[in-house]
Structure 1
Amino acid sequence: MAAAGQAGAVTLWRLSADSPELVKTLTWGSTWLDRLQWHPHQPWLAYNCGKTVHIWDADQSETLATLELPANVQDLGWSPDGTHLAVSAQQRIQIWETSRWISPRYEWELMAASRILKWSSEGAYLASANQDNSVGVLTWDNVRALKQSSDH
């Protein structure tokens, strides 16, 4: 289990039959940490720290990746199969592959700031609820087709 907030720390516990056991506290000073999400299949925790997203491996007790975004992170979410992480920062959504954290696989630009991201249960769509009360929907198969054709 993990918790974060205004204190600028991510606190991790191991839940056992008897009682929760404090495992680790990751401290980031006065930065407000308000987005965190566990990977659906791995012991990886994605959390924001201003314009940065950290991917923490709870088993190895180390940072797997640090992702730099163009603005403060608004939301983040793992794809249901765990192969991608979507991160919104102002009017951009970057989608990163877990097999290579070097640069985003895809960047989606919006007309208004994205506030909330949600993958469909099968991972076919990524929805963004935006500040101007609009909703954008990205069809993931179309992105895959575009990227495959441009890779050749």
Structure 2
Amino acid sequence: MANFTINSLGTTAIKETDNFIKSDTNGALSKISFADLKNEVQKDVKINFVNDNNLIKLTSDYGSISNLYCSKFGPFIAIAFEFIASKQTPGFQDVISTNFSPYGQQSITGYEMSKNTAVNIVFKSKSIQFRNTLAVGEGIAISCVIPAFMDVL
């Protein structure tokens, strides 16, 4: 049996050169660097970024949606877009319709561009609800990752 010393168990940041112990199916131990471990974990993750509405469709009668970026990886959807109100959006109103449904209701905080304040946003089944009133010309920037499923893919 090999002898070894544990110098410190203090918390430190993980570095690319840090090593982890792994074992194969026979129980043989070896080491792997964090950089190699990260590469192995990430190599099968497929993320297709698009800047149009082919992957995610958002529509609204309350304003315009622009700068839409989205990606889907596994059961998660990452979206980023800007919304500018063309008419007043009342609080607790479904403002945007979507072609995806979150796994359960998801709440995030959006950034209101005109007032520099936070806007609470709820992703519901097939819709996005604003919990704050936006006046004409006001807008919000939204960026988030939510667990969801696509209804059209």
Same fold by TM (over 0.5)? no
Give the alignment's TM-score, normalised by structure 1.
Answer: 0.27
Give the alignment's TM-score, normalised by structure 2.
Answer: 0.27
Structure label with greater radius of gyration: 2
